[in-house]
Structure 1
């Protein structure tokens, strides 16, 4: 069995890490480079950097911040936000990213998934899906959670897998920033429908939540922000406890 991954997420806007609740009420958390260094030293398995206003503001991702961050960490580094073309992907990879996350652009131009996978490899392409419960199903939202596409999350996950993405970063908008636990039903439903790795995002409030999502669903990674930013979860200690419970982790 593959080791489960701890993945801190840095939501960045205007060169600063921010965090909100349900994608709104953003508060400044700190400098992305310094925070990334701290997570690397704590033993994170990967790091995700999302320029959360790049698409909405119709601008490119902040290359300088990515370049400076990549010099300080030596774990897989995923970058997303404002990626619209294969050339954008190439620029981010040249700046130090290991994987590229696409969300709004994947919905607008699904062939971008195929193009990126063909040029850089499936393992390099991560499709981020922002999911929100609408009626009896989950819908895909884009532009930083501002727009409901009407797409069914499970059907979209199947499609992006068929187009060549190597991984899905699945965020529950209903749980985002609430610290009320991961949306187990959402992750279970998506994981049952596809065979590629899924990263769970949204709702981590304590280490028990991370234990639960790994025990109750097949997700391969647990992404969190608030609990890491504010020191509420110690990565090394939580990994030790997971290992004692028989959950495979990299110690």
Structure 2
């Protein structure tokens, strides 16, 4: 059985790590390079770096910061934010990233997924899906855009959002997840905007709905607040990886203790020697 992965996420704004609730009310969480080094030392399986304002500000990812992080760690490193071309991906991989994460640019131009997968290999291409449940957060955009068979009534699968969660689209999450896989994505980074930063647990029905319909790994993001939440997302949500930010940044949960907890409960983990 494949091991499950624990992935800290560095949401970066102006070169600093930040964390908010439901994608807003950001607060400083420390130096990105220092945090990356700590997580690698603690046994994190991978690291995700998201330049959360690059798309909104219409610029590329902070390449020099990517270089510094990559130089500091020895674990797989995914970078996202402001990526919209093969040149962007090439620059990030040359700066030390192992994978790239695309979101807004993929929605705007779905063919980009095909192009990047063909050029760099699917193993390098992560498609991030930020989703919000319109029944919890009413929006006039695309409420009935999905086909009835994929609408997922009651599952909270919701609608895809872009630009750091600021812009709702008419794309239904299940439809889009299937499309990005067919276009060559190697992984899906699935974030529940409703759960993000709440520490009330991952959106299990959402994650299970996507994971059960996907033939590529699904990284669950949004809502982690305790060790049991990770157990739940692996056993009930069928996620391949669990991603979190503030609980790691503010030392509410230590990665070695989390891995030991999951290992003792039968979740396959890569354990440090």
With structure 2 as the length reference, what TM-score do the two structures score?
Answer: 0.91
Contact 2:29 2:246 in 1 (8 A): no
Contact 2:83 2:89 in 1 (8 A): yes
Matches within 5 A, 1:89-128: 89-128=89-128
How far residue 234 of structure 1 moved from its aligned partner, in angstroms, is 1.1
Determine which of 171, 177, 183 is the counterpart of 1:151.
171
Cα displacement string for residues 77-115 of structure 1 (whole angstroms, at most 9, x for unaligned residues): 000000010110000000000000000000001111111
Q: Which residue of 1 aligns with 2:14?
A: 14
Determine which of 160, 166, 179 is the counterpart of 2:180.
160
Once residues 211 and 258 of structure 2 are traced to their aligned partners in structure 1, the CA distance between those partners, rounded to angstroms, is 24
Q: State the secondary structure of the residue aligned to 2:248.
A: helix
With structure 1 as the length reference, what TM-score do the two structures score?
Answer: 0.99
Residue 224 (structure 1) aligned with residue 209 (structure 2):
no
Cα displacement string for residues 162-218 of structure 1 (whole angstroms, at most 9, x for unaligned residues): 000000000000000000000000001111222110000000001111111111122
RMSD between aligned residues: 0.7
Q: State the secondary structure of the residue aligned to 1:27.
A: strand
Q: State the secondary structure of the residue aligned to 1:26.
A: strand
Residue 26 (structure 1) aligned with residue 26 (structure 2):
yes
Gaps of 5+ in 2: 136-152
Contact 2:227 2:261 in 1 (8 A): no
Q: Which residue of 2 aligns with 1:64?
A: 64
Once residues 57 and 237 of structure 1 are traced to their aligned partners in structure 2, the CA distance between those partners, rounded to angstroms, is 38
Once residues 246 and 18 of structure 1 are traced to their aligned partners in structure 2, the CA distance between those partners, rounded to angstroms, is 33
Q: Which residue of 1 aligns with 2:160?
A: 140
Once residues 250 and 193 of structure 1 are traced to their aligned partners in structure 2, the CA distance between those partners, rounded to angstroms, is 25
Q: State the secondary structure of the residue aligned to 1:49.
A: strand
Q: Which residue of 2 aligns with 1:48?
A: 48
Cα displacement string for residues 35-73 of structure 1 (whole angstroms, at most 9, x for unaligned residues): 100111111000000000000000110000000000110
Residue 186 (structure 1) aligned with residue 212 (structure 2):
no
Determine which of 227, 238, 248 is the counterpart of 2:258.
238
Q: Which residue of 2 aligns with 1:39?
A: 39
Once residues 118 and 215 of structure 1 are traced to their aligned partners in structure 2, the CA distance between those partners, rounded to angstroms, is 33
Once residues 237 and 112 of structure 2 are traced to their aligned partners in structure 1, the CA distance between those partners, rounded to angstroms, is 29
Residue 201 (structure 1) aligned with residue 226 (structure 2):
no
How far residue 240 of structure 1 moved from its aligned partner, in angstroms, is 1.1
Once residues 237 and 22 of structure 2 are traced to their aligned partners in structure 1, the CA distance between those partners, rounded to angstroms, is 23
Q: Which runs of 4+ in 1 moved over 4 A?
A: none
Residue 84 (structure 1) aligned with residue 84 (structure 2):
yes
Gaps of 5+ in 1: none
Once residues 93 and 249 of structure 2 are traced to their aligned partners in structure 1, the CA distance between those partners, rounded to angstroms, is 26
